Amino acid sequence: MAAKILVVDDDPNVQRLLQYTLKQEGYDVVIAADGAEGFRLWGDELPDLILLDVMLPKLDGYQVASKIRGEEASSSHVPIIMLTAEREVEQKVRGLRAGADDYLIKPFHPAELLARIKSLLARFAPRDILLARPPMGRVLAFYGAKGGVGTTTIAINAAIALHREMGRKVCLVDANLQFGDHRVFLDLGLDKKSVVDIVSAPNIDVDLVRQVMVKHDSGIDLLLAPPSPESADLVHADHLPQIIEHLRSLYDYILIDVDKRLDDVNLGIFEAADTVFVVMTADLSCLKNVRLILETMGHLGYPAGKVHLVLNRSNAFTGINVKNAEGALKRTIDHQVVNEYRGAISALNSGSPFMFSKADSPLGNSLLQFTRAVDKPETADAGTVGAAAR
């Protein structure tokens, strides 16, 4: 089971940041906002490690550490890391005498904190406690109701926004196996590795998947489609779900740009996905297709919450407004992205997506709102912990 960490800090910003940092590493997190609550939760929750701020209401960190050391059984020892903005040696010595095992001065980098946590857990935690587990990534499939609705544009730019604006570790998969466009739209050559390099290997494992990923200048990693249409036949229906499971252990988000066919390969992707985003525009032929897609998803037994509708070019004049579209579908449209077709296609044709080169444009702001809605858990700047603390 995962190690449980008790965070005792009265600064909400530090609470959120530590909670996000620790959960991304697979730890269970319990929060206390003052020393008295921290001491109570130590007894109730039995944490495997405590991050304890020095300056706390009711009981300060030194008092909390002393009370814990005074009451814990001789056979148990919960490791305590003191957090403080004070740099004087006397304060550090006082914390260690109170019972702290380690001491960190704010601001500190998350990597240093995690290294110290893992070191202490290795010394004191029971053997059946996991020091950390890889974050299990969310799989988001993007499926166009018809060609030309902007599915690839949204998938590529959402991936970049999740990484650059939300600080997530993101992988983008081009599952348009015969005619994938990611190489062109991201200015990558035919010499880059692709999914064929994975499925052609004798065994598919996480190390192989990691080696095949292509790094883009925006910071996201790519799993590219085969370099030629005929090599797409090498990818079978059972390959992508297996690869996706390996990607889950490497990334916070796996975004998959799916082609239009409802074949075994794509159905396998839908099955593996946590959410399927059906990208549409407000025109009659597209609405007809969306209704058929929703019916198909229903027949497959997918819960309604798994399928989200994304109205692209929402402010473009088509004679059908959002309310009319929702009435025709008998379904709420979950997300909207504004129309700026020329800017979007120009950015893709230049090999520099707009969330990479023009994120502050109206289209970029609209796409950012979409990704914020997708990234539902609270986010925090993972750059430096405690920068805003006392």
In this prediction, residue 132 has a pLDDT band, given cuts at 50, 70 and 90, of: low
- Per-residue pLDDT averaged across 90-115, rounded? 87
Residues 116 and 143 both lie in one domain: no
Show which of 124, 149, 168 is a domain's final residue: 124
User: Is 67 a domain residue?
Assistant: yes
User: Is 147 a domain residue?
Assistant: yes
Considering the entire predicted model, what is its pTM?
Answer: 0.64
Residues 76 and 148 both lie in one domain: no
- Per-residue pLDDT averaged across 106-123, rounded? 86
Strand order in the sheet with 138-144: 214-215, 221-223, 170-175, 253-258, 138-144, 275-280, 307-312, 335-337
Number of helical (H) and strand (E) elements in the chain, helices listed first: 16, 13
User: Is 232 a domain residue?
Assistant: yes
Mean pLDDT of the chain: 87
pLDDT at residue 75 above 80? Answer: no
CA distance 76 to 79: 10
Domain with residue 99: its CATH number is 3.40.50.2300
User: Is 374 a domain residue?
Assistant: no
pLDDT at residue 33 above 60? Answer: yes
CA distance 179 to 25: 37
User: Is 292 a domain residue?
Assistant: yes
Residues 120 and 144 both lie in one domain: no
Residues 201 and 299 both lie in one domain: yes
Residues 73 and 156 both lie in one domain: no
User: Is 350 a domain residue?
Assistant: yes
Structurally, the chain folds into a number of domains equal to: 2
Residues 103 and 172 both lie in one domain: no
pLDDT at residue 346 above 60? Answer: yes
- Per-residue pLDDT averaged across 57-85, rounded? 90
Residues 142 and 120 both lie in one domain: no
User: Is 384 a domain residue?
Assistant: no
Q: Which domain holds residue 85?
A: 4-124
196-216 pLDDT per residue, tens: 999 999 999 999 999 999 999
Domain with residue 328: its CATH number is 3.40.50.300
- Give residue for tokens 């990597």: 111
Task: Tell me the DSSP string of 118-148.
Answer: HHHHHHHS-TTSBS-----PEEEEEEESSTT
Percent of the chain with pLDDT over 70: 92
Residues 114 and 174 both lie in one domain: no
Report yes or no: 214 and 164 within 8 Å, Cβ to Cβ: no
Q: What is the predicted pLDDT for the residue at 367?
A: 92
Residues 90 and 151 both lie in one domain: no
Q: What is the predicted pLDDT for the residue at 127?
A: 55
Nearest to 302 by CA among 338, 268, 271: 271
User: Is 386 a domain residue?
Assistant: no
pLDDT at residue 384 above 70? Answer: no
Residues 39 and 150 both lie in one domain: no
Show which of 101, 124, 147 is a domain's final residue: 124
Residues 68 and 204 both lie in one domain: no
Residues 192 and 277 both lie in one domain: yes
173-193 pLDDT per residue, tens: 999 999 999 998 898 888 899
302-328 pLDDT per residue, tens: 887 899 999 998 877 778 888 999 999
Q: How many CA atoms lie within 13 A of 301 on its CB side?
A: 1
* Sign of the dihedral through C-alpha 372, 377, 383, 387: positive
Angle between helices 239-248 and 264-272 (to 10 degrees): 20
Show which of 72, 95, 124 is a domain's final residue: 124
* Sign of the dihedral through C-alpha 293, 298, 299, 301: positive
